[in-house]
Structure 1
């Protein structure tokens, strides 16, 4: 129940919906119950054979609804005749049905507003928290499972939890109203029927006992299946190139079969609950007909034929709310299981947060320093006691063998990751004293992989900056050597580039990314293998764009190619997480160390 009430907290302010819902539901129950209460006087009017001008005595107990209705029906019959009395009762029933359905509609609309409001808040909370998580979280989790939690699981929570909320109030109130009327008609019959209800509840409870465990397994299996789908769509070129279509389809279909079996098993239990409750209900009605009929035939218990028929009609309606309650108990398990997965994602805390009292950094003034910085993934050391100073306006290249720690060192600067020891200093202050948002606003980042969105070229360049002018976007594109190819596309800057920029070449995608970085006009540039995946012609275009980008900026560049690094103001050689050499291109060549070895290997491989 703790999970249920926590999920319900996302419906706040719940009073906005709860008060009108309770009011409309109560009115709906009153008028719908009144329809059945009017059945007895209608039958009495038709079949009672009331004598004309029969002496009538008004009941003293106003709670005896049937006696009151019978009194007014007989009074109308004595005054206006049996047909006019029947017309009066039928009009009352029609008005009662109209009002009951009108208030039921208002009740359902209020609950739907509550459901949508809850879904909005829940999905917003989970997505906002995911966006604030550190990058390391996404390396350890299946992307498809995260998508499943945000899309599918939240939807399950919406319908099962808020739907159960509706049942928890409406159906018990309806059930109580029917039981009150049943007690008024015949307490003996009602007490006898109540003996079967605990038995029915026990049987249904045993049927739905394993549903929560199965629901949790189904949500997990669905998440795995979505992961397989995401990987298949993302890697479709490689799948076809390696003739792995059968392997991928077999893997997906295997999980699909497992998911279907779980869902089928759950459906068996859920669908069994309704027939069982209905069968028990019919058996109860049969017993009541037998017992109640004997009371009528023997003129015992103060029960006449019309009241007995009304009793049977009322009792048949009791099974509807009882059935809805039993169904909701079977559905709530799926909602709770899905809710626990969603709450797990909401409760996930980012490993890197702003320090208390962190301030915004407005500009980059002097230098960026690494002071004895070390970093490790688990027990694997990646960086060891790195000390380095990057003066403002200088370009620094990071080179070294793969796995030496270059990308890790760069990721420390925007605080994508956090050092285990040591500190990074900007303008004399630890970067942890600044807010991450203001720190990252000083930086332009271009990665080896061109991260673009299924949108127009304009929106990709102006990403995250609504209201950017066309002139500013064009100016950034010119610096990135992208303007000429952009205007030759189908719709110019308004051309949609497809999923992940699939309509553009590798060089074009990279230049769009550079234009995006230029638009921010950052004082610090972080370039991670920005040209390594390009052909020679595209590399030259992109390299020219990068040279334009790095003018008058502090730049940290990871690259292997000589053309990218030889003009750097300082080259840092990393090996096994340590700085083994540093200096200019010519200085490092003259030392004859690891740098010269790497350059010679590159020169040899290019021959």
Structure 2
């Protein structure tokens, strides 16, 4: 059995339980000694009976050995079981942390349902591989070796004949064990694929229902379930063959050995008491030998799970390679503070699909900066690079003059608050949701964030105020209320930069106007960068960056861009048609056809 690549991390966790595992093995080894002593004592009991000696002492000793064997076996099972549970717990905690801190560019290549299967199902199977099956192999292997040694001491010739017969039986078991490992690995992969697709469907269930795609999705899931069933059946068949093949071989060997032994007893070549002891050791050998091979099969199935778990533990981490010292700050621009954010010739692609090509612009330390451009221009990607969800393939992103590639992730995200377009609220109270990323936030901090996000009236109208419970995904709040809740969550950490990706998308005109007022207050103390679909929000920006085709097309204020840039004029005109808040200052009346799929 070859060790899976990179097994060191999980094996290190197993080594952390070496005291429990060692104690379990030691107790089990003591049990092996009591087991091996029983045939010898039984042979002595037979001899004592034949010679007319008292039998009370040997019988009491045998009963004591039986009881000790039972106690030691139970204790060994408890110790090994506890070690296994500890390893599973430590592995799940380790892997959860590595998944949470994984580099998104690599994590995106994983299917989340498969990640879930590895964290839950594969870790349980891994426990069997690292603890129970290994312990069974070691302890029952000790019994087998001990029995062989005692049989060799009793009758070397008969022992060699026995080993030859058992070797033939074991040969078929080894081949089945290898096939079982391959089948088990395939089954874990198929089960992970089913779990991944099931999670995809459950996550998008409203969309599935709205599209009437229940039958299509059920058929797709049924196909994946069929694959998992087929590979599971292969595992079942191999498992079912494994024990009978061994048993047939062992029983044939046992019959041959007993036949030859009885002939030798009849001819006087072997003493009856010695043959009785030899036969007892042979019977004691058979069951542990079967357990060893079964445990090898179980261990191989667990190793298949272990390979998948360890593969997850090798996910590249966000802070991997981040230097301890930040890059030197550039000179402070004349006539003002250093920019809060600066992009310098940034290039980025999702796989083979280029998104940004040489993007450069700055965000002042205070004020509102708007990003506008057609769909697919790269606006959200810019935000994800500033948050360091992804790393640019060229150029650099600077935060307060320092390259974020050389800053710890916690430092970057402590300075930058991010409100996504599809914001997520979690099960719990409003207070817990707002203070989610700032557990040390005071009541005053929470209430200030509520005020700035325009959520105060909503909180006042709720029966328990900030202690009102909301359901999963923010059930119980409207879309606009969830959005403002997420804005408050970003503000409570007092970031230096606030990124708002379509933060007004779910707000009506009145709520959007209130949030605009909040943005003006927020922009007085930090930098605010917004992607907005309403011209009324963009028109009030201190600086507007126009993106097109992954490049910066123009930078300026609303009135200047209306006059100087045709794309911005078209975007502004199209947005005004759909903006219920009314005409923005300096915006011409819409004429002609309207663009679609735009964001300003």
Q: Same fold (TM over 0.5)?
A: yes
- Contact 1:486-1:492 at 8 Å conserved across structures: yes
- Contact 1:361-1:435 at 8 Å conserved across structures: no
The match for 1:435 among 401, 405, 408 is 408
Q: Does 2:68 match 1:99?
A: yes
The match for 2:20 among 17, 21, 41 is 17
Offset of residue 16 of structure 1 = 2.1
Structure 1 230/360 Cα, relative in aligned 2: closer, same or farther at 3 Å?
Answer: farther
**More moved, 186-195 vs 537-546:** 537-546
Gaps of 5+ in 1: 52-73, 78-84
Written as runs of structure 1 = structure 2, the 5 A alignment for 1:314-325 is 314-325=281-292
Offset of residue 525 of structure 1 = 0.7
**Could you tell me how far apart the structure 1 residues matched to 2:254 and 2:243 are?**
16
Partner SS state of residue 166, structure 1? helix
**More moved, 352-361 vs 16-25:** 352-361
Partner SS state of residue 348, structure 1? coil
Offset of residue 437 of structure 1 = 1.6
Offset of residue 546 of structure 1 = 4.2
Q: Does 2:221 match 1:221?
A: no
Offset of residue 533 of structure 1 = 3.6
Q: Does 2:129 match 1:160?
A: yes
**Equivalent residue number for residue 71 of structure 1:** none
CA deviations over 1:28-72 (Å, ceiling 9, x no partner): 1111222333222333444x2x35xxxxxxxxxxxxxxxxxxxxx
CA deviations over 1:503-552 (Å, ceiling 9, x no partner): 32211211211111121011211111112244445544544554444442
**Equivalent residue number for residue 573 of structure 2:** 600
- Contact 2:318-2:409 at 8 Å conserved across structures: no
CA deviations over 1:158-188 (Å, ceiling 9, x no partner): 1123223212321111112222232333333
The match for 2:144 among 163, 175, 182 is 175
Q: Does 2:559 match 1:559?
A: no
**More moved, 266-275 vs 395-404:** 266-275
**More moved, 390-399 vs 283-292:** 283-292
Offset of residue 262 of structure 1 = 0.8
- Contact 1:361-1:439 at 8 Å conserved across structures: no
**Could you tell me how far apart the structure 1 residues matched to 2:456 and 2:81 are?**
50
**Equivalent residue number for residue 311 of structure 2:** 344
**Could you tell me how far apart the structure 2 residues matched to 1:211 and 1:534 are?**
57
**Could you tell me how far apart the structure 1 residues matched to 2:402 and 2:200 are?**
43
**Could you tell me how far apart the structure 2 residues matched to 1:241 and 1:146 are?**
28
**Equivalent residue number for residue 57 of structure 1:** none
- Contact 1:359-1:435 at 8 Å conserved across structures: no
Structure 1 491/32 Cα, relative in aligned 2: closer, same or farther at 3 Å?
Answer: farther
Structure 1 405/198 Cα, relative in aligned 2: closer, same or farther at 3 Å?
Answer: same
**Equivalent residue number for residue 209 of structure 2:** 240
- Contact 1:375-1:421 at 8 Å conserved across structures: yes
The match for 1:468 among 431, 436, 441 is 441
**Equivalent residue number for residue 236 of structure 2:** 267
Offset of residue 225 of structure 1 = 0.7
**More moved, 397-406 vs 94-103:** 94-103
**Could you tell me how far apart the structure 1 residues matched to 2:364 and 2:448 are?**
28
**Could you tell me how far apart the structure 2 residues matched to 1:423 and 1:95 are?**
76
Structure 1 293/433 Cα, relative in aligned 2: closer, same or farther at 3 Å?
Answer: closer
TM-score, normalised to structure 2, is 0.88
CA deviations over 1:466-520 (Å, ceiling 9, x no partner): 3433443233223323244345446543444222223322112112111111210
The match for 2:160 among 191, 199, 207 is 191
The match for 1:329 among 296, 299, 320 is 296
Written as runs of structure 1 = structure 2, the 5 A alignment for 1:107-126 is 107-126=76-95
Partner SS state of residue 557, structure 1? strand
**Could you tell me how far apart the structure 2 residues matched to 1:213 and 1:180 are?**
34
- Contact 1:526-1:557 at 8 Å conserved across structures: yes
Q: Does 2:178 match 1:205?
A: no
The match for 1:35 among 31, 35, 38 is 38
**Could you tell me how far apart the structure 2 residues matched to 1:517 and 1:605 are?**
28
Q: Does 2:227 match 1:251?
A: no
Partner SS state of residue 451, structure 1? coil
**Could you tell me how far apart the structure 2 residues matched to 1:170 and 1:398 are?**
67
**Equivalent residue number for residue 583 of structure 2:** none
Structure 1 548/511 Cα, relative in aligned 2: closer, same or farther at 3 Å?
Answer: farther
- Contact 2:123-2:305 at 8 Å conserved across structures: yes
Offset of residue 404 of structure 1 = 0.9
Structure 1 561/221 Cα, relative in aligned 2: closer, same or farther at 3 Å?
Answer: same
Structure 1 15/229 Cα, relative in aligned 2: closer, same or farther at 3 Å?
Answer: closer
Offset of residue 567 of structure 1 = 0.7
- Contact 2:166-2:253 at 8 Å conserved across structures: no
The match for 1:478 among 441, 451, 455 is 451
Q: Does 2:263 match 1:294?
A: yes
- Contact 1:480-1:548 at 8 Å conserved across structures: no
Structure 1 153/518 Cα, relative in aligned 2: closer, same or farther at 3 Å?
Answer: same
**Could you tell me how far apart the structure 2 residues matched to 1:606 and 1:556 are?**
20
Offset of residue 10 of structure 1 = 2.6
| Structure index of larger Rg | 1
**Could you tell me how far apart the structure 1 residues matched to 2:110 and 2:421 are?**
22
Q: Does 2:324 match 1:357?
A: yes
Offset of residue 256 of structure 1 = 1.0
The number of aligned residues is 570
Gaps of 5+ in 2: 581-600
- Contact 2:193-2:224 at 8 Å conserved across structures: yes
**Could you tell me how far apart the structure 1 residues matched to 2:398 and 2:161 are?**
81
**Equivalent residue number for residue 422 of structure 2:** 449
